[in-house]
Structure 1
């Protein structure tokens, strides 16, 4: 690559980043549509191998996704709303428990001053807002309908997602083939190799890790609800979502479940044993069955890199940046692997030749 071509590529990347920044408010439905199309493409390809047409296979996959979404809306969402309301109403009592029981015990153990904890003000503010309304849906709708144009834009973006997903999923293989034809002939093999590695990493993470998150969320939620924890569904789903980073789901879910069990059952030992058993079973299933079966060892994204990518994407581009964070991180990781190999082969890495050797014969 000549220096002029390098400058052109650099200018092109800067312009692309600037354009993404300008289009951030409208990119979310398109990125979600691309994500859904990418996740559904293997299912459509499998149905095509069963002698179905591409359009009919896409319709079948969309019907499956719609049934799953409908089941979540009709079954899970009402239960989750009740638990959120229960948590909202229990917050003042939790603050009382912290102020009367937990914090004085901690204060005595650590030797802190008597006025070190000031939770009375927090409780007063929270109780004031709780007395105003107990309808969380009403609060959300009131804030959303302050601007009719904003509400219409939000509904339009929501309806745009399935339309974009359908057309991208139907034409996915065709678009990939056309993009490959446009590749420079001299760089086609290297580019296809890099794209294949990126696809392997992204597929393992987006498909495999999301299935692991879903399975862990179901396991944790079902187990906590079986032992009678009032907030079991909420904590289980939270632990499943946090499992996008390895071991974070266990830490977040187990800590929240222990606190909820202590608050609900007091010092009773059996609920705590039940919580420990639920998360132990979840970790054993994740380590011995779910991760080896669904993900394998193909991701290679360090947990710290995952956390940094999500936070950096959200800070730079908001929700759009969160959607782009992990795919971009996976692509950067693949490119860094090849840069590392090239660096090991370069003169900069190799030991310098011995300049004191006598010259050879003329």
Structure 2
């Protein structure tokens, strides 16, 4: 039996590096065109587990795709119809709340801090200037938005292009849901035989990392946002929905959502009520949210799946946005998940190389098992032909 071939040997590394650089340049050039396709692929990938579950119940894939696609469309429409009026109302309340915040800051918070810490803060805190600055920037933002909208409205082609991209997303999402497995299988069959087992293994691990983070953490974020919003509104905080939504959105970083939400809720409660009873109720809401997250939401929705470190998530999103704009933000987490898996593979290869101090370049046991996935005993033929039913293919869909 022939020894497994390492598809990432020294003579191939520069080829893969050149290929990765070429793909990066191509993505950068085609960014505006690729955006609706990337959004569609992510939506299809999020809905695929439910489609496969429906398939396992005995129904056809087309039936599962139609059911899941209809459910996702219904949730999206209901979310827009319910959230847009709520957010608009909360933003109006926030604007009306700003003068009250200025009065509380100069009349209560600053005198208390000066007395407590024996420092002079009154000369450095002028809420009127802060509010005026916010108003000026708000007006400037509105003027810029109006100018941009006016320029865009003058170009019928720009509007048609924007509407075409928007209409393209549900169509492409449907086809990705229905045919994504077949598309990936064709790519797998085209891979060089020495490369296919390792790529399939890395693809499965990347899907596990990305699925464990996005599907689980997104569910936790939505749940925490709802808990905070409902709880703060129930205890009488006027800006409870806005604070709860913001706290839920930033809760992908552990404890950041609770810290940001609790700080904003405490200030809003002190400005609105100013008593210890409401402050204790707010603390109780966030304490309950953290207990539910730690002992129920995270174990149930995320479990022991491999996730991405919060610092890696923040860096990936910022780097993607800087390099590729909105498309980079969409691709940030998938690329980060793949980078984690490939980095783990590269670490195993490095620790078994002569550069690290090993006697000879040795393929690690896990990598060798993946590479030697389908060995054939006949001389000169190291890998069997791909199975006709695609059973050896990668499991993840777009």
Q: With the length of structure 1 as denominator, give the TM-score of the two structures.
A: 0.87
Alpha carbons of structure 1 residues 57 and 126: separation in structure 2 relative to 1, 3 Å: same
Count of residue correspondences: 349
1:298 aligns with 2:305: yes
Alpha carbons of structure 1 residues 116 and 141: separation in structure 2 relative to 1, 3 Å: closer
Q: Which residue of 2 aligns with 1:360?
A: none
Alpha carbons of structure 1 residues 137 and 282: separation in structure 2 relative to 1, 3 Å: farther
Alpha carbons of structure 1 residues 321 and 107: separation in structure 2 relative to 1, 3 Å: farther
Q: Which residue of 2 aligns with 1:156?
A: 164
Using the TM superposition, give the Cα deviation of residue 123 of structure 1 relative to its aligned residue in structure 2, in angstroms. 2.7
Q: Which residue of 1 aligns with 2:152?
A: 147
Q: Is the 8 Å Cα contact of residues 313 and 322 (structure 1) preserved in structure 2?
A: yes
* C-alpha distance in 2 between matches for 1:348 and 1:168: 43
The worse-fitting range, judged by mean Cα deviation, of 180-189 and 150-159 is 150-159
Q: Which deviations, in whole Å up to 9, do the C-alpha atoms of 1:20-42 show, x marking residues without a partner?
A: 11222333222111110000111
Q: Which residue of 2 aligns with 1:192?
A: 200
Using the TM superposition, give the Cα deviation of residue 69 of structure 1 relative to its aligned residue in structure 2, in angstroms. 1.7
Mapping of residues 28-177 of structure 1, within 5 Å = 28-108=35-115, 109=117, 111-112=119-120, 114-126=122-134, 143-148=148-153, 149=155, 150-177=158-185
Q: Secondary structure at the match of 1:97?
A: helix
* C-alpha distance in 1 between matches for 2:309 and 2:13: 30
* Bigger helix share: 1
Q: Is the 8 Å Cα contact of residues 100 and 271 (structure 2) preserved in structure 1?
A: no
Q: Is the 8 Å Cα contact of residues 310 and 326 (structure 1) preserved in structure 2?
A: yes
Q: Which residue of 2 aligns with 1:359?
A: none
Q: Which residue of 2 aligns with 1:350?
A: 357
Q: Secondary structure at the match of 2:254?
A: coil
Alpha carbons of structure 1 residues 145 and 66: separation in structure 2 relative to 1, 3 Å: farther
Q: Which residue of 1 aligns with 2:348?
A: 341
Q: With the length of structure 2 as denominator, give the TM-score of the two structures.
A: 0.80
* C-alpha distance in 1 between matches for 2:144 and 2:66: 37
1:207 aligns with 2:179: no
* C-alpha distance in 2 between matches for 1:295 and 1:14: 34
Structure 2 residues not aligned, in runs of 5+: 1-7, 361-398
